[in-house]
Amino acid sequence: MLFKLGSFTVFKNHLHKYAADSLPYRGANRRATSLLPQPTIDSAILLQGAFINARSNILLSLEANQQSGCLIIHNEINKSRAGILMYRGRILGCLRGQKRTGDYEFGNPAYERTLVDLAGTSQTDIYDMKDEVVAAAGALFHGQMQEHSAERAEKSFEDELNELVQSKLPGCIVISDKVPKDTYIVYVFAGEIVGIHSHKQGWLKPKVNIVRKYIQSCKNPRVQSCSMPCEDSEGFKQYSFSLSGLADRDFNASQFAPN
């Protein structure tokens, strides 16, 4: 099962709150995809505004090359946007939003609807990301979100960061406030901060003091954290699925046996 019920519910409840403060990627990204890691200065933009379909060799190539990164898919006819978090050629997270309904879908159902979008006229952006950042971002889809009171924001951040560092589990810490209106996402992998992203300023140096200063400048900060239930690529397989659909097919040798 791709999504545990608890993390699915928590993530869905918080999606609207995060998305409202996000700085959009200069492509097909809007609210439905604002929680995916944004491209860094070093990210290779593999495709931008391209029209591909569900049977495209591009999907097969991304899977075969074990590419990590994000796919942003925009269908103007359906007024939908989807985001796919890709870890070594497998889908670690998928979400899809549609303007007409104002609702979001997640995981396998979201991907199935996205494939339908790709069968029509959809624009697709694809950019690569480091494995470590993608793995940490996977916690937003599969980890149980913990929320802490604003009165203890500084201590809560330190406690959650120490827990991620000591456990060495991939995870994220999200700090947000309306004054100043911004959201910081801290990506942690293998006991180290591998990325800090501000929705207003973009990617920042992975220095903990930058986050501490932001929290101190906040009037009523919210601190939330989550971690992946596993720490290595083998463990991620149970929380991911094939981008092309081919890698997860169970070929039973008996079906090829002569009658």
The band of 250, judged by pLDDT with boundaries at 50, 70 and 90, is low
3-state SS, residue 200: coil
Using H for helix, E for strand and C for coil, what is the string for 144-174? Answer: CCEEECHHHHHHHHHHHHHHHHHHCCCEEEE
Q: What is the mean pLDDT of residues 240-248?
A: 85
Cis (ω within 30 of 0) for the bond into 258? Answer: no
pLDDT tens for 125-159 read 999 999 999 999 999 999 888 888 788 999 999 99
pLDDT of residue 248: 76
R_g of the chain computed on alpha carbons: 18
H-helix or E-strand containing 186? Answer: strand 181-189
pLDDT of residue 12: 45
pLDDT tens for 81-99 read 999 999 999 999 999 988 8
Going by C-alpha positions, the residue among 165, 50, 181, 70 that lies closest to residue 118 is: 50
pLDDT tens for 35-65 read 799 999 889 998 888 887 766 688 889 999 9
H-helix or E-strand containing 124? Answer: strand 122-128
**Average pLDDT in the chain:** 82
Q: What is the mean pLDDT of residues 230-252?
A: 78
Classify strands 181-189 and 192-198 as parallel, antiparallel or unpaired: antiparallel
pLDDT of residue 121: 76
Q: Where are the domains of the chain?
A: 5-130, 137-237
